[in-house]
Chain A
């Protein structure tokens, strides 16, 4: 690496802004698509974990053990290793191992268990008295899920979704190291391998802005849905 001073951060004329916009677009795309799918799968898995826990019955117990085990496994594998581990799987379902599409399977498989566990905890926070009240009205399991569990945990689901989305941005950057595209890859290829510190700084600032915006919107949204302290 050549000897560069602090001034190397501010050579903005060395930045190819088209590349930056493209990379920004890829990062946004990867984050948004994976977050939508993580939200869907996360809520399904979270509900399964919640509904099968301590409910008695052989099948509930079995499902809980299996899902719990898988969630724990995939939550424990470091993301950078998971991408590499899933390469054949990725190839099989998206037919490529480079570009933003190729990042999706590992992003989703990594973030879903993380979100599912948080959702399980959020559902447990729902007032059991309210669930009992609704059951006493003759509600079935689906009524309880749609009319009580999900609406009554919405602010927590949004807050935890925000945390998950921010982790996803960070994962998309890491996926850049093996060719997913996006700001992470730009910072790695342009910034690190070509010694362009300004690109790294710009990529950092854009990612930072995303994180701040997501956090801000997430907080606002969660607060809007929360009718507990009016």
Chain B
């Protein structure tokens, strides 16, 4: 069932000297209960796009449907009611330092007019859901970054929202804490069935939790689809950059390794293979060396877990004569394995 639909949505900010096209002709459907990743570099328009979901920004043209409601048609008071059904967490947590953790979590209920007793009871329950049951009387400044984001998540869930927007929620956290928070989001998605929209510039976050991804660049969605498809068959240049960065770690280090290999051995091709969970690297590699007069040297390989199985990446060098190398590349491309020729004489 479709929960959220962006229909040809554009947002243009009128600045003094020019019009800034923050979002351009975006069409996107997000299903109920899905974790949908929206990835892009900063300034790509991701935040503007989701801020139109709860009316913090209004689209210049196009329609945004949540369930049956068209967000632009809502009156101010209807919009406030609609906002209560959408929880939001932020990069910098945006907790109120003047309130205790418990009262921060209770704030959305306070705004909704829930009685004090009921809202504190609910807030305590939410704090235990995020593993902070003992910190209710502390102030946010006494917590670590990861704990603050847990409070942010508990607060976002206070009104039992149907949708949770995560706006770069892990971008200010260290890698370990990021994984904890991402696990918590996955857990919440499974237990409460909330639709989560994950905005990020880190492929890592999307890879860990999302089942679908949209890639944004300069206000447009340049590619979208299931996570595995995007990972194993990236088409757009930006998508490739994100995927490669995630698959291979430090690009610069890899590049200098490759440069060295190419320099010392300029006759042999280097290719990158990306496998998804159902395929496996080893048989392919061994079958190549059996079928063709080619020896294979592995330069780098790794496997990453996603929600829907593993994704492997392998960078290999084909050692043999030029014609045989060509045949191997053709063969791999026929196998429907994402093959990128990094270097070929």
Known: A132-B56, A138-B111. A227 touches B90 (CB 8 A): no
Query: Does B94 count as interface, using CB distance less than 8 angstroms?
Result: yes
Query: Does A127 count as interface, using CB distance less than 8 angstroms?
Result: yes
- Among A46-54, A77-85, A105-113, A148-156, the stretch in contact with B: A148-156
Task: Give the contacting residue for B141; candidates A134, A137, A227; CB below 8 A.
Answer: A227
Residues of A within 8 A of B88 (CB): 133, 136
A147 CA to B96 CA, complexed, in Å? 9
A200 CA to B340 CA, complexed, in Å? 90
Residues of A within 8 A of B159 (CB): 137-138
A138 CA to B85 CA, complexed, in Å? 9
Which of A100-136 touch B at CB < 8 Å? 127, 129-130, 132-136
**Smallest beta-carbon distance A137→chain B, Å:** 4
Known: A130-B95, A137-B159, A147-B107. A229 touches B141 (CB 8 A): yes
Say yes or no: B107 contacts A134, CB within 8 Å: yes
Say yes or no: A152 contacts B108, CB within 8 Å: no
Residues of B within 8 A of A148 (CB): 96
A132 CA to B56 CA, complexed, in Å? 8
A85 CA to B90 CA, complexed, in Å? 53
- Interface size for B (C-beta < 8 A) is 28
Residues of A within 8 A of B112 (CB): 138
Query: Does A139 count as interface, using CB distance less than 8 angstroms?
Result: yes
A229 CA to B92 CA, complexed, in Å? 16
Say yes or no: A227 contacts B139, CB within 8 Å: yes
Known: A228-B141, A230-B139. A133 touches B98 (CB 8 A): no
**Smallest beta-carbon distance A223→chain B, Å:** 14
Residues of A within 8 A of B82 (CB): 138
Closest to A154 in B: B98
A189 CA to B112 CA, complexed, in Å? 61
A142 CA to B111 CA, complexed, in Å? 10
Say yes or no: A138 contacts B80, CB within 8 Å: yes
Residues of B within 8 A of A16 (CB): none
**Smallest beta-carbon distance A156→chain B, Å:** 12
Closest to A132 in B: B56
Residues of A within 8 A of B317 (CB): none
Say yes or no: B107 contacts A130, CB within 8 Å: no
The range of chain A's interface size is: 20 to 34
**Smallest beta-carbon distance B205→chain A, Å:** 20
Say yes or no: B97 contacts A137, CB within 8 Å: no
Residues of A within 8 A of B217 (CB): none
Task: Give the contacting residue for A136; candidates B54, B96, B110, B139; CB below 8 A.
Answer: B54
Say yes or no: B99 contacts A151, CB within 8 Å: yes
Known: A136-B54, A138-B83. A130 touches B94 (CB 8 A): yes
Residues of B within 8 A of A133 (CB): 88, 90, 94
Residues of B within 8 A of A132 (CB): 56, 94
A143 CA to B112 CA, complexed, in Å? 10
Residues of A within 8 A of B2 (CB): none
Query: Does A13 count as interface, using CB distance less than 8 angstroms?
Result: no
Say yes or no: A130 contacts B96, CB within 8 Å: yes
Query: Does B181 count as interface, using CB distance less than 8 angstroms?
Result: no
Say yes or no: A137 contacts B111, CB within 8 Å: yes
Task: Give the one of B96, B139, B140, B142 with max A CB within 10 A.
Answer: B96
A137 CA to B111 CA, complexed, in Å? 8
Query: Does B342 count as interface, using CB distance less than 8 angstroms?
Result: no
Query: Does A4 count as interface, using CB distance less than 8 angstroms?
Result: no
Say yes or no: A230 contacts B56, CB within 8 Å: no
Query: Does A140 count as interface, using CB distance less than 8 angstroms?
Result: yes
A132 CA to B83 CA, complexed, in Å? 12
Say yes or no: A152 contacts B98, CB within 8 Å: yes
Say yes or no: A152 contacts B97, CB within 8 Å: yes
Query: Does B207 count as interface, using CB distance less than 8 angstroms?
Result: no
Residues of B within 8 A of A154 (CB): 98
Q: Name A's B-contacting residues (CB within 8 A).
A: 127, 129-130, 132-140, 143, 147-148, 151-152, 154, 225, 227-230
Q: What would be 25 A-B contacts, judged by CB atoms less than 8 Å apart?
A: A127-B94, A130-B95, A130-B96, A133-B88, A134-B111, A135-B56, A135-B83, A137-B83, A137-B107, A138-B80, A138-B81, A138-B82, A138-B112, A138-B159, A139-B80, A139-B111, A143-B111, A147-B110, A147-B111, A151-B96, A151-B98, A151-B99, A228-B97, A230-B139, A230-B142
Given contacts A127-B94, A139-B80, A151-B96, 9 further A-B contacts (CB under 8 A): A129-B90, A133-B88, A138-B81, A138-B83, A138-B84, A143-B111, A152-B98, A154-B98, A228-B141
A-B pairs, 5 with minimum CB distance: A133-B94, A138-B83, A138-B80, A151-B98, A137-B108
